[in-house]
Every structure is written in C-alpha cells, then in structure tokens.
Copies of this chain bind each other. A is one copy, B any other.
Amino acid sequence: MALSSLRREDRPAAGSGVVARQAIRAGSHRGATAGLAPGYVQGNLAILPNALAADFLQFCRLNPKPCPLIGTSAPGDWRVPELGADLDIRTDLPRYRVWKNGELVAEPEDVREFWRGDLVSFVIGCSFSFEEALMAEGIEVRHIVRGCNVPMYRTTIATQQAGPFHGPMVVSMRPFTPRDAIRAVQITTRFPSVHGAPVHIGKPELIGIEDIGKPDYGDAVEVRHDELPVFWACGVTPQSVIATVKPEFCITHYPGSMLVTDRKNTEFAIM
C-alpha cells in the first residue's frame, strides 16, 4: 500500500523508524544511519545459516553486554516483526556485507539475490541508544561532536565461548571528566539491553589497550588531561567473533549502515 493511499492519521510520523526504512528500501536514503529517526533503536545485523543459529544464540545469551540481542527471525524468514511490522531484513538496511568462508565477497544495497531458505537474522543493540540518553542529559560525546566514528579496541577481556564462537571483547571508548563518567555509569546502567553500564574505566593497559591513540576500529579521539577513558562492550564484538569462525556464508550490516527499528530507545530503559 502506498503511503499516499493512507488516511492522514494512519500515516507513519515523519522521523519515525518505519519512514526511515521506507526511504532506505526505496533507495532515497543511502549511507550511514546515524541521526536518522531520532529516538528509535538502531541495531547491528548478523545473518547466519541455521546450522550456526543455536550456538550463536547461546553466545549472545552468555555475553549480553557485547551482544544484546534485540530481535531474531525464523529460519528463512526475512521478517523480524518484533522490530517493525513491515520490516524486510533483505532490503531495509542501506548497505550490507556478504561473506563466504570469512572472505568479503560483496557490499550490496540489498541482499535479495543472496537470500537462502536457511538464513536466520540476529539484530543486536547498538550504542546509539545510550548515546542519545547521555546527550539528553547534556553530556558531550566526543566522537559525535567531532563527527567521526567512536574509537574501538580489541581487549584482553575474553568472551564466554559457545560452540565455535569465542574471542576477545571489543570495546568502544568515550572520554569524560570524572563527574560526567560517574553520571554516564548511572545513565547507561538504565539501558542493560543496549550494552548497559561500562565494562572498564581509566587504565586502558589493564584490558590490553597499549595505545589509546590507536584504536583497532573507528577513529581516535582525544582524552584530555582532566578526563578518564570510559569503555563499553561493543556490538562489533559479535562481528569480530563471527569473522574468526569463517562461516561458509554470512551477511552483516555495512559499518555505520544499521537497521532502523520501530522500537523506541526509551522502551529499553529499565527505569
């Protein structure tokens, strides 16, 4: 049904998750999703063959801080109704990455031609949700102010293994003054299903980060003399872990091109 055929009061609100997905599906929005549909949850995507689904589900259950699962599909089904009634996981992200045996084989704008009857979709919460809550409280998030990607680091913190899935936790880092760091612990504690409270604060060397100025993913940001680096479990962890497993087939979102859902960030606050 075309939007124009809906009565006005039935049309989705401008700026909503569904309108963002429609624009992406129609090809009128391309590229990064940061800033799209403010207030709506965005998610990391991993699509795996059903043969790996049970192990990956278990991995997420055992590692809820880096892998907060917010939606899954039935095998072969491209819908994820818990995240959006009209959602089609094959078309609703701006760009994807397709992997075969651990090799990147394509970066298409939709994956209908790659679809298989045994694929299961996993949508994992993302830090956009808690960053919105931090900024709503007046806390400056450096990489957002700078307009770059959050710096991310592989750590010596091990994840809990499930089947073939294991490997180090990846963390994202945001620098804050001690006062804001304490406030950030409080605010992000309210969002356990989108990474929750930090996993580390100060002293990067204790988690195996040798040079805070050289992130393994994303961009470096300055940590000022009156600031502490604060580290959160990062949704890049499952992608990093999947990469080491080299599944015969898998699809992930292209970095920065997330799934925009119909769930509100505020729904994920526990208080």
Contact = CB atoms under 8 A, between A and B. Distances in A.
B199 A202 contact: no
Given A206-B226, A226-B206, A201 B189 contact: no
Contacts of A203: 178, 226, 228
A178 B231 CA distance: 10
A182 interface: yes
A271 B189 CA distance: 13
A244 interface: no
Interface string A167-184: 000000000001101100
Contacts of A202: 178, 201-202, 228
A46 to B, nearest CB: 27
A200 interface: yes
A197 interface: yes
Copies per complex of this chain: 2
Q: Would you call the interface of chain A mostly helix, strand, loop, or mixed?
A: mixed
A179 B203 CA distance: 11
A125 B107 CA distance: 60
A200 B179 CA distance: 6
A57 interface: no
A178 to B, nearest CB: 5
Interface in A11-56: none
A160 to B, nearest CB: 16
A181 B185 CA distance: 10
A200 B186 contact: no
A182 B206 contact: no
A151 interface: no
Contacts of A228: 201-203
Contacts of A206: 178, 226
Interface in A172-222: 178-179, 181-182, 185-186, 189, 197-203, 206
7 contacts: A178-B200, A178-B201, A178-B202, A181-B201, A182-B198, A182-B199, A201-B228
A171 to B, nearest CB: 12
